[in-house]
Structure 1
Amino acid sequence: MAHRFSRHAACAAAVALALFSAGAASAQRDAATPSRGEERTAEGLLARTGDGSFGPVKFDSRDAPFGLRNNNWVSLKGPNLEGRWPGQTGANSQSFARFDDPIHAVRGFIELIRYYQEKHGARSAAAIMRRYSPAGDCSGAPSIPASERRDGGGCPENETIAPVTAVRAAQAAGLKPTDDMALFGPAGEIRHPDRLRALLDAVVTQELGAKHCPQPPKGESWIGCRVDDAAFNRAVELYGRQKGPTEEVVSR
């Protein structure tokens, strides 16, 4: 299921909404892989260490997931229409976007979540993540091992219980998965940046997978990766400058 929108003329970089899939994140590859075996650091992204502190995420450019290699930690897709997300430089064969800076992907994620609230009434972590992770994609399904999740996997449990990503995000925000997160005001302003940050970090953790973002054992719901303060604040600043009314073009 994909949900798309175009921006008004004031936001000339018309974009398409995204379909996310945590299972695809670990499997996607493209021809634009950097030099073999080069170790890189994901600037602005931190991973939980054994003592509970957070340190820089390092990855091998040869076999890291697409999201790390192409500055798209949230697996944003585009373009589906004629436009691109601001800062997008291309896309792979599955339409996952490439960005020149991960801040643009985070900004796009904020825009997407605002759209979910405004156009679809998705206000709780559970409602947001069910739209982000349709049941058929198996994303966040507790009974499906991460290595077996895939597009179209068929996970009816995601229709009856809150996806694990929603549970993690809600707990980090001090809420229940079905509580209203009240993320945005009527003009699109961010009302609870701490809650938005929790949702973002939970999605990044799920999308990039256990190799780079530690996953909590069953029964625990800590978050394995977090976007650092400077990166998050820059994305919020960009969102404040670029946000505008949206209009749904296609919903299927």
Structure 2
Amino acid sequence: MPVTEPRGVRNRNPGNIDYNPANQWQGQLKPDPAIEKRFARFNTPENGIRAMGKLLLTYQRKHGLRTVQAIIGRWAPDVENDTAAYVHAVEVGSGTRPGAEIDLTRPAVMRGIVKAIIHHENGGYAYPDAVLAEGVRRALL
């Protein structure tokens, strides 16, 4: 039986961002319900990571979300996820103390949070460091 990549990896959208026509993400592909009904698709994983980073920055800047718990509570609400387990996984994966305020404008912090979200969203999948670093770099431009 062939092993298929997780949906977020196949769509080059490792944060599993919902498609929204109002979001004109860099590198976003036209929706195609035959391929994917709900989530955005991107031309490269770097652009998918960029979109994830930009969205996380919006959570921090516009909505004032400064802890992993607050950010993941919005990213992955309880109606669809075990949010408490997700928060714990991201805190552990990023080395963030529970309840600690984080600054996503710092590249190392952004990289740690994004890498942990990708790991959680995609069943342990990890991109090569260069792909992750480039996506984060684009998000922080």
Query: Are residues 92 and 136 of structure 1, via their aligned partners in 2, closer, same or farther at CA, if it must alter by over 3 Å?
Result: farther
2:51 to 85, 108, 116: 108
Unaligned residue ranges in structure 2 (runs of 5+): none
Query: Are residues 69 and 172 of structure 1, via their aligned partners in 2, closer, same or farther at CA, if it must alter by over 3 Å?
Result: closer
Query: Are residues 177 and 78 of structure 1, via their aligned partners in 2, closer, same or farther at CA, if it must alter by over 3 Å?
Result: same
Check conservation: 2:110, 2:136, Cα contact below 8 A: no
State the AA in 2 paired with 1:226. Answer: A
State the AA in 2 paired with 1:232. Answer: L
Q: TM-score, normalized by length of structure 2?
A: 0.82
2:21 to 66, 77, 80: 80
Q: TM-score, normalized by length of structure 1?
A: 0.49
Tell me, in whole angstroms, the C-alpha distance in 2 between the residues paired with 1:204 and 1:240: 18
Q: Which residue of 2 aligns with 1:19?
A: none
User: What aligned pairs does 1:177-196 form with structure 2 within 5 A after superposition?
Assistant: 177-183=98-104, 190-191=105-106, 193-196=107-110
Query: Are residues 80 and 177 of structure 1, via their aligned partners in 2, closer, same or farther at CA, if it must alter by over 3 Å?
Result: farther
Displacement of 1:70 in angstroms is: 2.0
Query: Are residues 197 and 78 of structure 1, via their aligned partners in 2, closer, same or farther at CA, if it must alter by over 3 Å?
Result: same
State the AA in 2 paired with 1:176. Answer: R
Check conservation: 2:28, 2:42, Cα contact below 8 A: yes
Match of 2:126, SS state, is: strand
Match of 1:90, SS state, is: coil
1:198 to 112, 119, 129: 112
Larger strand proportion, structure 1 or 2?
A: 1
Q: Which residue of 2 aligns with 1:122?
A: 65
Deviation by residue 1:39-95 (Cα, 9 ceiling, x = unmatched) = xxxxxxxxxxxxxxxxxxxx43xxx443222211111122332x5211011235433
Larger helix proportion, structure 1 or 2?
A: 2
Check conservation: 1:74, 1:106, Cα contact below 8 A: yes
Query: Are residues 200 and 239 of structure 1, via their aligned partners in 2, closer, same or farther at CA, if it must alter by over 3 Å?
Result: closer
**How many residues end up aligned between the 2 structures?**
137
Is 1:68 aligned with 2:3?
Answer: no
Deviation by residue 1:187-220 (Cα, 9 ceiling, x = unmatched) = xxx22x23222221221122223xxx2xxxxxxx
Identical columns (%): 27
Q: Which residue of 2 aligns with 1:231?
A: 131
Unaligned residue ranges in structure 1 (runs of 5+): 1-36, 38-58, 142-157, 184-189, 214-224, 242-252
RMSD: 2.1
Match of 1:78, SS state, is: coil
Displacement of 1:136 in angstroms is: 0.8
Tell me, in whole angstroms, the C-alpha distance in 1 between the residues paired with 2:133 and 2:88: 24
Of structures 1 and 2, the larger Rg is shown by 1
